[in-house]
Amino acid sequence: MASFNRRDFLKNGTALAAGLSLFGSASTSLMAADKKPLYSVSLAEWSLHRAIKAGKINHLDFAKITKNDFDIDAVEYVNQFFKDQAKDTKYLTEMKNRAEGEGVKSLLIMIDGEGALGDADDAKRTQAIENHYKWVEAAKFLGCHSIRVNASSTSNYEESQKLAADGLGRLTEFGTEHGIGIIVENHGGLSSNGAWLSGVMKLVDNKNCGTLPDFGNFALNRERDEWYDRYIGVRQLMPYAKAVSAKSHDFDESGEEINTDYYNMMKIVVDAGYNGYVGIEYEGANLSEPEGIKATKALLDRVRDELAG
């Protein structure tokens, strides 16, 4: 298992990414020459979680706010903001109509709180799988391509890979029946180890099961300040990526995110052949949520122009 002290991980990761930026430049130039956008930008609902939880924003207005306030035309929902409406056809119809009315695409639903798909207890693992069924069906109804899940487990490295692969594989079978992908985010613990999670993907071995690499969720153990190198991790997860999460917290005076070198990170993403949506997920405290979203979008837009140039 590769682990890094936080003091070292930016230095090591940036150095690696700088080297990677020279690799695969031909593929980037080719995509730019074709005049296709290297990637599009979407908005993860978690970027507005404080305002939603405080009642300042209604979940049903998320698509409208995304389009009108941020000029973004695609959204990624979070299940906890409509956790009791997964089977409420009337509510889901309202969500769908509002998004379509704004010309906004519904991409995916991020799922939490439905049990561990890699639980060592067979019955609990099966229950967790079945708990996700309603969200697969809701995603299908809304016109999403996937649900984002977690590959959490409590066993050792190799055994937990097998357990997570079993849970994900079985859920993917259900998702495939509904035309919905199952994608896994690096989200703490072993799932934040890029080698571990990419190994799980190899075990599942199903094109409808993939990853959602998150730039910032590489904490192996926060108490011990142990982190997996984010640049290595994203590179390991990109071959399976069906979505990408552009995590952001703080920015310097020039508009650069201080924790992640966005140019080199997006170079890794683009050079992997990915040209889909990159979801803004702002979690900072120094800027307001709207300001943080706008700062992240401006950075992603600028980096895209730089990469295309």
Tell me the average confidence (pLDDT) per consecutive run of 10 residues in the chain, 309 residues long. 42 44 41 72 98 98 98 98 98 98 98 96 98 98 98 89 98 98 94 96 98 94 92 98 98 98 98 98 97 98 96
The residue with tokens 């430049």 is: 25
Residues 6 or more apart from 105 whose CB is under 8 A from it? 42, 73, 74, 75, 99, 143
> What pLDDT, on the 0 to 100 scale, is given for residue 5?
44
CA gap 303, 306 in Å, rounded: 5
Listed residue (110, 183, 103) closest to 151, CA to CA:
183
- pTM, two decimal places: 0.88
> What pLDDT, on the 0 to 100 scale, is given for residue 126?
98
Listed residue (231, 148, 233, 147) closest to 190, CA to CA:
233
> What pLDDT, on the 0 to 100 scale, is given for residue 9?
41
Residues 6 or more apart from 299 whose CB is under 8 A from it? 248, 251, 255, 256, 257, 262
Position 219: which residue type?
A
Q: Which residues partner with 148 through β-bridges? A: 110, 183
Contacts of the segment 56-61: beta carbons below 8 A, 24+ positions apart: 60/94, 60/95, 60/98, 61/98
CA gap 102, 137 in Å, rounded: 23
Supply the range of the domain harboring residue 216: 4-308
> What pLDDT, on the 0 to 100 scale, is given for residue 309?
86
Contacts of the segment 285-288: beta carbons below 8 A, 24+ positions apart: 285/249, 286/250, 287/250, 287/251
The residue with tokens 């109509």 is: 97
Q: Count how many domains the chain has.
A: 1
> What pLDDT, on the 0 to 100 scale, is given for residue 33?
45
> What pLDDT, on the 0 to 100 scale, is given for residue 34?
53
> Strand 209-212 relative to strand 181-185: parallel, antiparallel, unpaired?
parallel
CATH number at residue 103: 3.20.20.150
* Token pair for 302: 């600028």
CA gap 183, 146 in Å, rounded: 7
> What pLDDT, on the 0 to 100 scale, is given for residue 221?
87
> What pLDDT, on the 0 to 100 scale, is given for residue 153?
83
